[in-house]
Amino acid sequence: MPVFLNATDPDFESAFTALLSAKREDSPDVDATVAGIIEDVRARGDAALLELTEKFDRLKLTAAALRLSAEDIRTAAASVPEAERDALRLAADRIRAYHERQLPEDAEWSDDTGATLGWRWTPVAAAGLYVPGGLASYPSSVLMNAIPARVAGVPRLAMVVPAPDGILNPLVLAAAELAGVDEIYRIGGAQAIAALAYGTETIAPVDKITGPGNAFVAAAKRRVFGKVGIDMIAGPSEILVIADADNDPDWIALDLLSQAEHDESAQSILITTDAAFGEAVAKAVETRLTTLSRSKIAGASWRDFGAVITVPDLDTAAQLSDRIAPEHLELCVADPDSLSAKITHAGAIFLGQWTPEAIGDYVGGPNHVLPTARSARFSSGLSVLDFMKRTTLARMTPAALRAIGPAAETLAATESLEAHGLSVTARLRKLND
Amino acid sequence: MPVFLNATDPDFESAFTALLSAKREDSPDVDATVAGIIEDVRARGDAALLELTEKFDRLKLTAAALRLSAEDIRTAAASVPEAERDALRLAADRIRAYHERQLPEDAEWSDDTGATLGWRWTPVAAAGLYVPGGLASYPSSVLMNAIPARVAGVPRLAMVVPAPDGILNPLVLAAAELAGVDEIYRIGGAQAIAALAYGTETIAPVDKITGPGNAFVAAAKRRVFGKVGIDMIAGPSEILVIADADNDPDWIALDLLSQAEHDESAQSILITTDAAFGEAVAKAVETRLTTLSRSKIAGASWRDFGAVITVPDLDTAAQLSDRIAPEHLELCVADPDSLSAKITHAGAIFLGQWTPEAIGDYVGGPNHVLPTARSARFSSGLSVLDFMKRTTLARMTPAALRAIGPAAETLAATESLEAHGLSVTARLRKLND
């Protein structure tokens, strides 16, 4: 059974705090193993990669076979039924259209001293995209990672995906082709992250690595961070639904289950202004669990981490929501816009009862890679900006230097950085000659 | 002596690669110590903080004295000479004006299905600013970290600065007052980072921590990352100057020395189209080193990591610059704009010979917190965006769901995520009733 809380109960605060701080994931400590794998790939390149792939994926390859041929990709993509290809195309078009609006603008202006200031955005030169193998090998993730990189203008996009026992998901390859991935390698785990970060004889290194993965992949991304950029380290998925009584309990139950079915560590929370509606939703969840194909996973998540919270009003709901800082937030209320305006911390907001979160996972347009574990307090979902960087620009004229140089000399002196000051002084002296 | 290289020499490539991969910093492994300190502060709060401050800073405090009073700050700030306060004010005004242009825009639009899409930017609720004590206690760093946070709209800004033997730099406090810091605590090291991340009885936790620090601070920031956001972990400073022969060798020498004087691990590189000019600059460096107050540090940096590279043309200079991906890049050439357009990877570019890098450290306007160690390939300097996060928004109408819902159902089925699909199906069924 999930927890049932009522915000007006005297012990609510302690129960809610306990819910917030519940540890949902025990990450196994694989850091030493991962460090060894990375060192091995750095030292021995392809040879290590091939050995590790045989060991972990039971797949014997040659260096030449690490990379999928254009023919391999075309054949796999062509095997995908037309209806699925159409759905992928619709998703890709909508994701592209949304992300194109994120392209940042360069700026350049002159200030009152005559100095020219500004900045310029440029894409990273090469991005690497990790795609998990097996059950979690999602074509939607390929689109959500590759399309922002392409929109950013990244000239080279390399993808790695493990092929355990030689098996690859044709839809993943179809999505990669559609999104414009340049290179695909059939490798996975920490060894694939090491190859992307440091390069091997066959795989050129990249500058930024994104994409989800298991504990080994997460630990490897943490380790190579600094050598390359990485996206976030995502935790288990979460949804918070705020719903009034004017909803179909079954719809809300399905929305809660759509996160719960991802992972036993996922968390689904309902906040409602109507306790009876909360009970009805919990009942609908139980009913759906009797037939759901992933009921074992979804049931465990709902039982261990699910919660139904009754609040006296929507203002209280907004306050609790900000303390949860959910990855996904559904606002199934009469006026979702005015409730949304009261929310500060959330990865993605889905407004109104016609916007189930699953729309955002696939075809809405916004990215589905979002901050988990309360990190929406300080971070954002994946975007075009993650594949770009900003160079600041400054150009002084003699007059500008005359105007602001003396202040720089003064501050350099206070920091005892003599050469800093002298680099200004020498120029000002020339101007005053 | 620095290395002298010529891009047309047959062994240039290997020498340049060696220069790029030279290890400039041996970070001591303080991770275990730092882990212990963080656990201690988490477990015992103020009591641990007070003990550790007495131990490391030789400063015995009470919980009530951790935070500087308004009176303490006013008195210290008032002791700063007027000329220095004016210089700080000029710097603050220019930094604020530059960063105000970085404020991102919210967006909302309707697409052809009638769906409303968009995003919204909000500031983090609380930011913590680390300021080192002792020699590296720079007022300019306070401005460069605090002003972007303030411009972002962060409602609470807490600063920590160690006071070894009770001593604080009054200019740091004056800068904090000017930048609008709300709270200042006289603590430092890993214990201060732990207090900001987890909170104690006296110090409320923050959501984002920025600012430079020693190896203990860097390790602590890495450890608390995830619980809170952090800025980059900065390495030793670097400058690359690209200069033609039409420059005063002494100016360029001073620009190189202004990074070298920061740290024995700093790196200063000159790329020039004229070998004789390169020699003249190296000679000017030696001359300046005979009188420079920090000549020991600057001399060691120049000797161990300095380089003068002669290239046949500016296109080659641009290519080498992108391989270096410098933190600071000065373009002292006749047409700096056209050379700048050929550069992709640099933290900050200073255009023309009237723009010494030191201007950027203090009063130019752009941020001086910039990516080091080649990370300009994938990351940017500190900005207003570092103190904000983006929430994506989506609102479907019944018509929009009818248009794109079926594609979501198809993709959910390919990923075997049944509840995802059903959350759409249930709604579409209602529409088709």
- With beta carbons under 8 A apart, name residues in chain A contacting B398: 354
Question: Quick one: what percent of chain B has pLDDT higher than 90?
Answer: 93
Residue A117 lies in a domain: no
- pLDDT tens, position by position, B151-184: 999 999 999 999 999 999 999 999 999 999 999 9
- Work out the pLDDT band at A31, boundaries 50, 70, 90: confident
The pLDDT of residue A166 is above 90: yes
Burial class (CB in 10 A: 0-12, 13-18, 19+), A21: exposed
Interface membership of A376 toward B (CB under 8 Å): yes
Q: Looking at B205, B230, B255, which one is the last position of a domain?
A: B230
CB atoms within 10 A of CB B241: 28
Q: Are residues A16 and A132 in the same domain?
A: no
Task: Please tell me the distance in Å from B167's CA to the nearest CA on chain A.
Answer: 16
- With beta carbons under 8 A apart, name residues in chain A contacting B107: 101
Q: Are residues A285 and A402 in the same domain?
A: no
Q: What is the mean pLDDT of chain B?
A: 96
Residue A113 lies in a domain: no
Nearest to A193 by CA among A168, A229, A165: A229
Q: What is the mean pLDDT of chain A?
A: 96
d(CA B293, CA B283): 18
Model-level ipTM above the cut of 0.85: yes
- Work out the pLDDT band at A25, boundaries 50, 70, 90: confident
Nearest to A323 by CA among B204, B125, B223, B156: B125
**Residues A356 and A329 sit within 8 Å (Cβ to Cβ):** no
Q: Are residues B151 and B46 in the same domain?
A: yes
β-bridge mates for residue A3, sequence order? A307
Residue A304 lies in a domain: yes
Residue B38 lies in a domain: yes
State the residue range of the domain holding A175.
Answer: 31-105+124-230
The pLDDT of residue A296 is above 80: yes
Q: Are residues B266 and B147 in the same domain?
A: no
A108 labelled catalytic = no
Question: According to the model, what pLDDT value does residue B29 have?
Answer: 81
Mean pLDDT for B263-271 is 96
**Residues B360 and B351 sit within 8 Å (Cβ to Cβ):** no
CB under 8 A, 24+ apart: contacts of B316-319: B316/B7, B317/B242, B317/B271, B317/B273, B318/B242, B318/B342, B318/B343
As a residue count, chain A comes to 433
Span of A222-231, A373-382, B6-15 with lowest mean pLDDT: A222-231
Q: In this complex, do A208 and B414 lie within 8 Å of one another by their Cβ atoms?
A: no
Mean pLDDT for A124-140 is 91
Interface membership of A49 toward B (CB under 8 Å): no
- Work out the pLDDT band at A23, boundaries 50, 70, 90: confident
- Work out the pLDDT band at A22, boundaries 50, 70, 90: confident
CB atoms within 10 A of CB A339: 22
Interface membership of A382 toward B (CB under 8 Å): no
Interface membership of B296 toward A (CB under 8 Å): no
- pLDDT tens, position by position, A306-361: 999 999 999 999 999 999 999 999 999 999 999 999 999 999 999 999 999 999 99
Question: According to the model, what pLDDT value does residue B235 have?
Answer: 86
Q: Are residues A298 and A405 in the same domain?
A: no
Task: Kindly identify which residue of chain B lies nearest to residue A346, measuring between CA atoms.
Answer: B391
The CATH number that applies at residue B335 is 3.40.50.1980
Instruction: Please indicate whether residue A171 or residue A1 has the higher confidence score (pLDDT).
Output: A171
Catalytic one of B183, B264, B328, B357:
B328
Q: Where are the alpha helices (DSSP H) in B225-263?
A: 249-260
- Work out the pLDDT band at B148, boundaries 50, 70, 90: very high
Angle at B48 between CA B43 and CA B54, to 5 degrees: 170
Q: Are residues A211 and A249 in the same domain?
A: no
Which secondary-structure segment (H or E) carries A332? Answer: strand A328-332
Nearest to B313 by CA among B278, B285, B274: B274
Catalytic one of A328, A330, A357, A368:
A328
d(CA B344, CA B322): 6
d(CA A324, CA A330): 13
Q: Looking at B214, B230, B246, which one is the last position of a domain?
A: B230
Question: According to the model, what pLDDT value does residue A49 have?
Answer: 98
Mean pLDDT for B360-365 is 97
Nearest to A193 by CA among A150, A163, A228, A154: A228
Q: Are residues B154 and B212 in the same domain?
A: yes
- Total domains in chain A come to 3
Nearest to A214 by CA among A263, A267, A170, A249: A263
For an interface test with A, which of B108, B248, B395 has the most A Cβ atoms less than 10 Å from its Cβ? B395
Question: According to the model, what pLDDT value does residue A235 have?
Answer: 86
Task: Please tell me the distance in Å from A357's CA to the nearest CA on chain B.
Answer: 8
Q: Are residues B198 and B343 in the same domain?
A: no
For an interface test with B, which of A339, A390, A401, A432 has the most B Cβ atoms less than 10 Å from its Cβ? A390
- Work out the pLDDT band at B433, boundaries 50, 70, 90: confident
Q: Are residues B38 and B19 in the same domain?
A: no
Strands A388-395 vs A126-130: parallel, antiparallel or unpaired: unpaired
Question: According to the model, what pLDDT value does residue B309 have?
Answer: 98
Residue B390 lies in a domain: no
Q: Looking at A230, A260, A279, which one is the last position of a domain?
A: A230
d(CA B357, CA B140): 14
* B259 annotated ligand-binding residue: yes
Matching residue, tokens 């988490």: B42
**Residues B421 and B412 sit within 8 Å (Cβ to Cβ):** yes
Q: Are residues A297 and A414 in the same domain?
A: no
Q: Are residues A202 and A258 in the same domain?
A: no
Question: According to the model, what pLDDT value does residue B234 have?
Answer: 81
Phi, psi dihedrals of residue A310, rounded to the nearest 5° = -95, 135
- pLDDT tens, position by position, B64-95: 999 999 999 999 999 999 999 999 999 999 99
Of chain B residues 254-293, which have a CB less than 8 A from chain A?
Answer: 254-255, 257-258, 260-262, 288, 292-293
Catalytic one of A177, A183, A261, A327:
A327
Question: According to the model, what pLDDT value does residue B66 have?
Answer: 97
Strands B328-332 vs B238-243: parallel, antiparallel or unpaired: parallel
Residue B391 lies in a domain: no
B327 labelled catalytic = yes
- pLDDT tens, position by position, B9-61: 999 999 999 999 887 776 778 989 999 999 999 999 999 999 999 999 999 99
Question: According to the model, what pLDDT value does residue B335 have?
Answer: 98
Strand order in the sheet with B267-272: A107-110, A116-123, A388-395, B348-351, B328-332, B238-243, B267-272, B307-310, B3-6
- Work out the pLDDT band at B411, boundaries 50, 70, 90: very high
- Work out the pLDDT band at B207, boundaries 50, 70, 90: very high
Residue A390 lies in a domain: no
Mean pLDDT for A235-253 is 97
Question: According to the model, what pLDDT value does residue B249 have?
Answer: 98
Residue B378 lies in a domain: no
Strand order in the sheet with B116-123: A3-6, A307-310, A267-272, A238-243, A328-332, A348-351, B388-395, B116-123, B107-110
- With beta carbons under 8 A apart, name residues in chain B contacting A219: none
Q: Are residues A155 and A181 in the same domain?
A: yes
Dihedral (Cα; B252, B253, B259, B260), 10-degree rounding: 160
